[in-house]
Structure 1
């Protein structure tokens, strides 16, 4: 499963023995970590990078904030957007917090298949006053676990992916000169220095943690993109649902759905598609809100959506007739797994 919040994380800390850790050095380390991931197809071109510089004494005083820079095969290639943003940070003088974050698309493996997630890992670096560098690596996939985040054993998936993560962590540790500090056990899993602890005997902290928490997380991310309103359909149903697949440029971004038995309808983002799935989802939710305002029942709203003029920027409905799933949980799992 792919989640919208980290499954686990690892941290390394470096201190400057002499001189300062400048933004250029931090960016070089970030690029070297990206290369370690890229060697194992855990990072691919097409990710996004952010650079932010804040006053250490007053973090609200932001001196530089550059977002959503595209990352290519060489993240710090001359004249790249990231290289230019780092150069701007380098030119600043003061007691700063420098943050560099790279979200990494990557591949996870299943028997006979490779699947791409637009945010498989995230590399996060913070430099405090030029003296302390904290590096954090987050992952958003459960492919490294002996049991997935819905409590199902996955021996083949684990065997294909866990060694890739272990090798990447070892390579990053060699690069940084120390072993990582694993993040705390969370609702999904328990990180270790080489990946994750085997929870088949002890069990996870929560049963079906993905099903319990991810729906709430994704709903919150979607609702944060649109104005609040009470003029909308119910978001939960126990009935089968009918749905349309939303695609843009041949890539599935999510599913707009309606219950066959009550007043529920909504949109499930395909988490592996990254932020695009949530951005277009906001527009589809607003369209459903408009249908609700017209007094349309959920299935009638689905038909109404299919007849509206196409808006390629928010994706298009890919089927002529709606598909049916036995429950909203089945469709939600589809949106989170692939």
Structure 2
């Protein structure tokens, strides 16, 4: 399953070095194990160490360049400009990394498989953090199902990458704390079959809340909303943009609810598009349309740059909303 919150984190505190070169080096260690792929983007923030509200630089959507991490790439140029600033500053460079995880006979791309964050405090203290948003490295997935084949294909790649990053940085990692999903270790993750998982079906328990939070953060408050949960089967249609499925709009077959389910593997674009389609559903609700009629309306709307298009191709009926959420969270 692909998650909205990290499944695990690892932290290194190496000797001070360049922030862009450090991020690039960690990225290449992941790429060398086929864990990250071309694409992704970076964000840079520079603020006063004594007053975080005093922001000197705040940039997002920085391209990693072609070739990646070249001196003239947007992200490296932005870091060089930030390095020229004077004062006691904190610089944070964060890179969202697309990558592939494996199943026997198949591979799957997630637009945010890893995130790399490099922080420099006062030009002397360096902190490197690696996050992963997939459970492919676990013996038991985040819904509580054993996955020996998936674990065997992916866990060794992660372990090799952690070793490579540690060699590059010259220090071992400090695994993050146990979280709702897993227990990170220096070589990957502890086996939840030994002591049991922290929660039964942690993905089903928490991911819906995380998705709702991320979608709500992109929307103004509104009372004109359909119910967001249902026990009935749901009719759904995929939202597509540039050939990529971003999520699914749906309506309950008993006309009791309607909503949008983001495809987590599509990354932030899934939530950005979802905010547009949920706004459309709010307007339909304000007009007094029943959920199934609202879904039909969305199917007739033209494509939009940010939102994509609701496609009749690939539409269908799922036996439950949970079944649709499972589909949207796994691939």
When normalised by structure 2's length, the TM-score is: 0.97
Give the aligned partner of residue 337 of structure 1.
330
Distance 2:187 2:104 in 1: 23
Partner of 2:103: 110
Q: How many residues are paired up?
A: 331
Question: Does the residue aligned with 1:106 lie in a helix, a strand or coil?
Answer: strand
1:232-289 Cα distance to aligned partner (Å, 9 max, x none):
1001111110000111111100000001124211000101001111101101001111
Deviates more, 1:67-76 or 1:81-90: 67-76
- Partners of 1:44 and 1:73 within 8 A in 2: no
Find runs of 4+ consecutive structure 1 residues off by over 4 angstroms.
Answer: none
Partner of 1:6: 6
Deviations along 1:68-106, one digit per CA (max 9) or x if unpaired, are 112246443021101110110111111111111111100
Q: Is the 8 A contact 1:42 1:104 kept in 2?
A: no
CA–CA separation in structure 2 for the residues paired with 1:313 and 1:50: 20
The equivalent of 2:29 in structure 1 is 36
Partner secondary structure for residue 66 of structure 1 = strand
RMSD: 1.3
Aligned to 1:201: 194
- In the TM superposition, residue 203 of structure 1 has moved relative to its aligned partner by 1.3
Residue 41 of structure 2 corresponds to 48
**Structure 1, 124-133 or 134-143: larger mean CA deviation:** 124-133
- Assess, with a 3 A threshold, how the Cα gap between structure 1 residues 321 and 94 changes in structure 2: closer, same or farther: closer
List runs of 5+ in structure 1 lacking aligned partners.
Answer: none
Q: Is the 8 A contact 1:237 1:262 kept in 2?
A: no
Name the residue aligned to 1:81. Answer: 74
Match of 2:245 in 1: 252
Instruction: Show CA shifts across 1:95-150 (max 9, x none).
Output: 11111111110000011111111110001111111221111000000000000000
SS at match of 2:194: coil
Q: Secondary structure at the match of 2:13?
A: strand
Match of 1:71 among 64, 72, 95: 64
Superposed displacement of residue 312, structure 1:
5.0
- CA distance in structure 2 between the partners assigned to 1:36 and 1:309 by the alignment: 42
Q: Quote the residue 2:301 is aligned against.
A: 308
The 8 Å contact of residues 301 and 310 in structure 2, kept in 1 or not, is answered as no
**Deviation of residue 311 (structure 1)?**
2.9
- 2: CA distance between counterparts of 1:149 and 1:166? 19
After alignment, is 206-215 or 73-82 more displaced?
Answer: 73-82
Checking the alignment, whether the CA contact within 8 Å between 2:7 and 2:131 is kept in structure 1 is: yes
- SS of 2:79's equivalent in the other structure is helix
Q: What is the TM-score with the length of structure 1 in the denominator?
A: 0.95
